[in-house]
Amino acid sequence: MSQSAGDPGSKDFVEVRLPAAGAYLSVLRTATAGLAARLDFTLDEIEDLRIAVDEACAILLQQAVPGSVLSCVFRLVGDSLWVTVSAPTTDGRAPERDTFAWTVLSALAGEVDSTVADDKTVSISLHKKRGAVPGLS
C-alpha cells in the first residue's frame, strides 16, 4: 500500500529508531502517548496503545539480534494510528498468534498483524481507531 504526496495523512508519520533493549522502551511509550493524544484519543485509548506498543516490543526483543536497532513507525491517518515495530531477529520467526501476549495485543490495539522479511526482520503492526469498541474491527 503506497500513498502519494497528495494523499491526506501521507506526511503524518514519525519514525523512531533506538537500540533493541528494554531500557529504551520508555521513549516509545512516550511517543505513542503524544501521538495518540494528537488524534484526540481518550485517556483509556492512549493507555491501551502504550501497553500494546510495549508488548509488541517485548515480543520482538525476545528474538532481536543483540546490538541491533528497533524501529517504530507511527502513521496518523484520519482518526487512526498505525504503529509498526520492527527488529532484525536471529531466527526470523513470526510471533505465535495463539499466545497470551498476542491476545493482549489484539484486545488493546484492535487490529494486529505480523510479517517477516527475507532478511529475518520481524514486524508487528498495530492499528487503533479512535472510539472503536474493543474487540470489534
Q: Is residue 78 a part of any domain in this protein?
A: yes
Quote the CA–CA distance of 121 and 101 in Å, as a whole number. Answer: 19
Instruction: Give the mean model confidence (pLDDT) for residues 6-16.
Output: 69
Q: Is residue 6 a part of any domain in this protein?
A: no
Each residue's pLDDT tens digit, 90-132 = 999 999 999 998 998 999 998 999 999 999 999 999 999 988 7
Q: Is residue 4 a part of any domain in this protein?
A: no
Instruction: Give the mean model confidence (pLDDT) for residues 28-57.
Output: 94
- pLDDT computed for residue 4 by the predictor: 38
Closest CA to 49 of 31, 27, 73, 63: 31
Domain that holds residue 63: 13-129
Q: Is residue 24 a part of any domain in this protein?
A: yes
Q: Give the global pTM.
A: 0.87
Residue that wins the pLDDT comparison between 90 and 134: 90
SS (H, E, C) the chain: CCCCCCCCCCCCEEEEEEECCHHHHHHHHHHHHHHHHHCCCCHHHHHHHHHHHHHHHHHHHCCECCCCEEEEEEEEECCEEEEEEEEEECCCCCCCCCCHHHHHHHHHHCEEEEEECCCCEEEEEEEEECCCCCCCC
Q: Is residue 136 a part of any domain in this protein?
A: no
Q: Is residue 111 a part of any domain in this protein?
A: yes
pLDDT band for position 9 (50/70/90)? very low
Q: Quick one: CA torsion of 112, 19, 130, 133, rounded to 10 degrees?
A: 40
Q: How many domains does the chain have?
A: 1
Q: What is the CATH number of the domain that holds 40?
A: 3.30.565.10
- pLDDT computed for residue 134 by the predictor: 55
Where do we find the cell 509488541?
Answer: 56
Task: Tell me which of 8-17, 79-88, 121-130 is least confident.
Answer: 8-17
